[in-house]
A and B are shown apart, each in its own frame.
Chain A
Amino acid sequence: MKPEQDYKWRDFERGYVITEPGSSREYHTGDWRSQRPIFDKERCIKCGVCWIFCPDCAIRFDAEGYAEMDLDYCKGCGICSRECLPGAITMVDEEG
């Protein structure tokens, strides 16, 4: 899909239907972040709670089963950090 600012009014599909599945991946909600999650592998028990709670589906698991935050989409809400029982996720301010 082309960048949104290039859309002219005639360019939409009828009813704003999106015919390319998964186009929301092109929108990086990570740009909104003012805090970032810092992950501590030592504390993670691979319970998956953060994955359930993340409202942006920004958490996946690496090959070993540890949580991993995708900073392209993590908007820094801090929910994972709050819900992680062993305290494996700490929020820190973004620089600048």
Chain B
Amino acid sequence: MANILIVDDDPLIRTLLIDSLTPLDHSLMVAETLSECLSVISTGKFDLVLLDVNLPDGSGLDALPDIRRVVSDPEVIIITGEGDAAGAKMAIEHEAWDYILKPFSLEKIILSVGRALEFRASKQIFTPAPDSVFDRSNIIGTSPKLTACLYQAVQCAGSDADVLITGPTGTGKELFASAIHQSSRQKKHNFIVVDCAALPEQLVESVLFGNVKGAYTGADAPREGLVKKADNGTLFLDEIGELPLSIQKKFLRVLQERKFKPVGGTDEIRSNFRLISATNRDLHQMAEDNEFRRDLLFRIRTIHIQLPSLKECREDIKPLSLHYIHSLCTHHGLETKGFGPEFLDALESYDWPGNTRELIRSLEQAILANVDSSMIYPNFLPPHIRLHQIQSSLKIKTGSSIPAPDFNSADTGVTISLPRELLDPIAPLKQVKIYAAGETEKLYLSRLMTVSNGDMEKASALAGISKSRLYSLLKTCRTDVNE
């Protein structure tokens, strides 16, 4: 897998390139301007840059020498709308791999990318990989919000400042913390994880600071705490919002003085660690409510990375799914499975409250739902996700002008509305009947799936039809909606 930077201000070209390179399992990042490109390239580890010439803040060709000078020395493919001899000459002089004119065919791009990467791989046999660059290879996604967080992570890796990573559960806080450590000055030392949410209050202090023999009942031996184990490395305090107030005070002192006493001990122990903390809680609000020390909060957030929820980065769902379907299938000893647009549609229309963790879990459930199938279909997904897709499709269809039926109201009936076009001018009865039957079917299916909680077995029994018939009705209803 190669790290590729796409630099183009045209969203259509970016999407086209992302869509054609994602299946090749490369890790992609995008920049829309020259300055963005130069800032990310100086700190990232890139194998290849696809560089547009006419960028809003300058010419890509002028930046070519700077791009070639960065430590990871990426290959460059120039993509230009206005080819000219001087430009081509400059590209060749600076050893650009290729000079491609727009409009281009995807085959040409894929071929050129493949060759450039082959060339780079052969070069690297002789040159060791550069050392001090940010390795984002485990972090998938190219959405603007995730990319912005990656820029920050790159800066964190280059400094020793304490970092606070916030964001909803499952958004990759631990993943980012580990990536920062792996690319930092501390990388040769330990990355120590302390899961504050897993530690009962009575254990936190001895886990963090250690204890001397006999410090408390059951302390039969002296133990070194995790703060000491992180000496010269990184201490990752996950769910720091769960740290009891009494420990917060002690920990603040450790951050200020870099020394502490183990439980029951009198001698001070030194530890020089880099702190990365993470939480899904609002620490400011907790400070307002006196549940988190304000002075500790200010101390730990020298750099603050706020990770977006997955629903804010819907364009990342596809590359994440491709990556995880492959690794999950490998993990479960299966051939990598394929999926069609309707599966992706189901994934992209869901809001993922549990974020990437929930996405991975749902993909895994879908893969295991039918291990023999070479494809994954939407009906392999957990019921609540299927249900969500069906319901949202129905909502799109009925639109805002027709209120969604309130099945819970005291009224016994539910009405459907006929659109004005059918009544004025009056349409043939047959056409109106077909329309009404279709709408009735959709309302019925929506209610059926709600009542049966997305359970196809139960739904088909209630409806008195076979599961395959039900599935085909749901599918038709969705296709109809998407048209």
B partners with A: no
**B residues adjacent to A (C-beta < 8 A):** none
Residues of A whose CB lies within 8 Å of any CB of B are none
